[in-house]
């Protein structure tokens, strides 16, 4: 009966033998062991465990079957009382079954260590939820890892962010961390750049050397220099996230389809790398908006080459300015001086009623020149 039941759950014969021979289960009669196993399995099923999860848990810690359900609940309540939801507690057990046999003192000690390092209760919970194995790490190792980052030059909030986002880093040895930082240096990043980039993108610590190399390979093949790539990463570290990285080539090709040359594409994206974060739809919509406002396609390309920030500029703001400039009949001036589109709408509004003799280009001169010409006293 016992073997038949366990086979129906999905255990193989070797796994059944492992459980039967484990102490104290080896002292059970077949009927009492069957009762204990059914009891444990029913409880786990009610708490989101699949048969595969149950097999992994009970073959990793067979003695869990000998525990009463009340005893298991007591263990779970230790973490629940720390503010971790029961669903998350069970997910932690699925990832790292040894959580279920940890004493409350061991768990409390880990909370104390992280609290001493300045972590909030919520941050500590996130660390344990994402990587429950850390509950079993020696407190000295946690402090040593924290000190490594502090000695490197990271500030407290930067370390906290990295540990919370990629808690597996806490399990790394100093030698492994050395190798990671050497990889970043080989990429061309300086110390301050490494700190900034890894703060914004902690996932870099879990990428392999090959994966990091691949991140820049497609840009190098397109024509970007190493220096170009480093400058882009410095400005927008998130570009290394797979979501953005996977879409880069389609975005570059889309810019070429808008009649920018490859050299133009490199130039405008190096000067305004945020373009690489915009969706293709957003880029095309902004480009078309300039055409809709009376510019030829080639004129729009020139404007964006001269001022790449225009490709991502607020459309509503741009349209307000175009409406005014058309009314003032200075659109041709704008075509040759597209940088004036970057001037604040508030400045334009404050000046337009002061302009004399239709000298509308005075809207764009410096504050000192404008104030002198129109006899405005500086505040």
Tell me what pLDDT residue 79 has: 94
* 293-319 per-position pLDDT tens digit: 888 999 999 999 999 999 988 888 888
Tell me what pLDDT residue 246 has: 86
First to last CA, the chain: 93
Tell me what pLDDT residue 379 has: 57
Q: Is the pLDDT of residue 128 over 90?
A: yes
Q: How far apart are CA 208 and CA 211, in angstroms?
A: 5
Residues contacting residue 354 through CB under 8 Å, at least 6 positions apart:
374, 376
Radius of gyration of the chain from its Cα atoms, rounded to whole angstroms:
31
Tell me what pLDDT residue 368 has: 86
Q: Is the pLDDT of residue 8 over 90?
A: yes
Domain residue spans of the chain: 247-342, 343-379
Tell me what pLDDT residue 356 has: 82
Q: What is the mean pLDDT of residues 338-343?
A: 86
Residues contacting residue 311 through CB under 8 Å, at least 6 positions apart:
268, 272, 275, 278, 283, 286, 287, 304
Identify whether the C-beta of residue 348 lies closer than 8 Å to the C-beta of residue 321. Answer: yes
Tell me what pLDDT residue 378 has: 64
Q: Is the pLDDT of residue 366 over 90?
A: no
Q: How far apart are CA 139 and CA 105, in angstroms?
A: 13
pTM: 0.73
């Amino acid at each position: 009966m016992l073997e038949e039941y366990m086979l129906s759950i999905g255990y193989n014969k070797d796994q059944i033998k492992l459980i039967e021979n484990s102490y104290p289960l080896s002292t059970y009669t077949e009927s009492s062991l069957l009762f204990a196993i059914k009891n444990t399995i029913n409880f786990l099923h009610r708490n989101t465990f699949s048969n595969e999860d149950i097999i992994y848990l009970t073959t990793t810690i067979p003695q869990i079957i000998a525990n009463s359900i009340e005893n298991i609940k007591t263990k779970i309540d230790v973490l629940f009382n720390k503010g971790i939801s029961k669903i998350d507690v069970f997910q932690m057990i699925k990832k790292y079954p040894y959580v279920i046999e940890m004493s409350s003192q061991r768990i409390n000690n880990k909370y104390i260590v992280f609290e001493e390092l300045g972590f909030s209760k919520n941050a500590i919970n996130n660390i344990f939820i994402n990587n429950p194995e850390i509950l079993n790490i020696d407190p000295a190792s946690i402090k040593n890892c924290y000190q490594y980052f502090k000695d490197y030059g990271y500030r407290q909030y930067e370390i906290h962010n990295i540990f919370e986002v990629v808690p597996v880093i806490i399990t790394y040895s100093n030698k492994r961390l050395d190798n990671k930082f050497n990889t970043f240096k080989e990429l061309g990043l300086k110390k301050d750049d490494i700190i900034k980039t890894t703060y914004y993108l902690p996932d870099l610590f879990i990428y392999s050397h090959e994966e990091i190399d691949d991140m820049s390979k497609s840009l190098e093949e397109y024509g970007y220099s190493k220096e170009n790539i480093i400058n882009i990463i410095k400005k927008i570290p998130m570009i290394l996230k797979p979501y953005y990285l996977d879409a880069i080539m389609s975005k570059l090709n889309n810019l070429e389809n808008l009649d920018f040359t490859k050299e133009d594409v490199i130039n405008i994206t190096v000067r305004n790398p945020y373009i690489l974060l915009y969706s293709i739809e957003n880029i095309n919509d902004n480009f078309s908006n300039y055409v809709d406002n009376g510019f030829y396609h080639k004129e729009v390309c020139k404007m964006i080459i001269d001022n790449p920030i225009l490709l991502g500029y607020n459309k509503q703001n741009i349209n307000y300015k175009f409406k005014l400039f058309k009314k003032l009949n200075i659109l041709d001036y704008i075509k040759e001086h597209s940088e004036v589109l970057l001037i604040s709408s508030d400045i334009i509004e404050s000046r337009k009623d002061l302009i004399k003799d239709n000298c509308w280009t005075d809207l764009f001169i410096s504050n000192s020149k404008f104030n002198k010409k129109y006899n405005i006293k500086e505040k």
